[in-house]
Amino acid sequence: MQDSNIGFIGGGHMTSSLISGLLSSGFPAKQLFVYDRNPEKTEHLQSKFGVEGSPDLKKVVKMAQVLVLAVKPNDMKNLVESLGGEIAQQKPLIISIAAGISTTLLEQWLGEHHAIIRAMPNTPALLRVGATGLYANSKTLESQKELAESILRAVGVTVWVNHEHDIDTITATSGSGPAYFFLVMEALQKGAEQLGLPKATAKILTLQTALGAARMAMESDIPLETLIQRVASPGGTTEKALSVLESGGIQEIFKKALEAAKDRSREISENFKES
């Protein structure tokens, strides 16, 4: 990986996270190039990380063996079409982290001869504990897949899918997933407050419990069902609480929520095809 220059188009939070993760893993700052249409963002990243910031978008493309497209979905078409000549000449590996922009769309705008990887990271990547789904088009070599994986692993775990439509499910699961857990934590905290705990006490107990439960699940090969059973002693308090959640249809509610998010992800992709 360290033989490749990486160019970032877009200087938002995800770019900042990736740069921070790459530098922490030993990647040379001098091989990271950044452009944002807001010069202040470019200058901020250059000052904070010592990377090569540039006001010249095309220069960043020309310097990159890997080009990370980290712009808003609505800006993607105009961006890549304006860079068509430079991208065709340089032929970088393209990694897009724009939600709803399929590799098919990028191929239509750039041509079908480019190696393109679609990535769906989530916001915990800001703390380097993210989860990223990856899909590569047919022009992508195994070595390029390994390179993309090493870049995204700098901010968390990565998983590959063989079918691009599975990215919609990943979007619904891990992309949107942090909000689901925030909602559960908020509900647990508020419930504890309503039962008499001070807000600060309810908050720290809720957050530490969520952290501990996640670590137990991550660091163990034990199925989640078994972990639940280990906490829920027969006839005990946990079993009683779980019965209330299950009678409220919590499993079905989450299934419907994931389906709704997945369907919306597909709708967004379709809207870009029509535009």
Strands (E), 150-202: 156-160
* Token representation of residue 46: 């250059």
Q: CATH top-level class for 6-163?
A: alpha beta
- Over residues 44-95, the pLDDT tens digits come to 999 999 999 999 999 999 999 999 999 999 999 999 999 988 999 999 999 9
**Distance between CA 190 and CA 81 in Å, rounded?**
49
Question: Strand, helix or coil at 9?
Answer: strand
Tell me whether domains 6-163 and 177-258 share a fold: no
State which amino acid sits at residue 173.
T
> What are the structural domain ranges in the chain?
6-163, 177-258
Residue 271 has a pLDDT of: 82
Name the architecture of domain 177-258.
Orthogonal Bundle (1.10)
- Over residues 124-164, the pLDDT tens digits come to 999 999 999 999 999 999 999 999 999 999 999 999 999 99
Handedness of CA 98, 101, 105, 109 (dihedral sign): negative
Residue 177 has a pLDDT of: 97
Residue 84 has a pLDDT of: 86
- Over residues 206-265, the pLDDT tens digits come to 999 999 999 999 999 999 999 999 999 999 999 999 999 999 999 999 999 999 999 998
The pLDDT confidence band at residue 203, using thresholds 50, 70 and 90, is very high
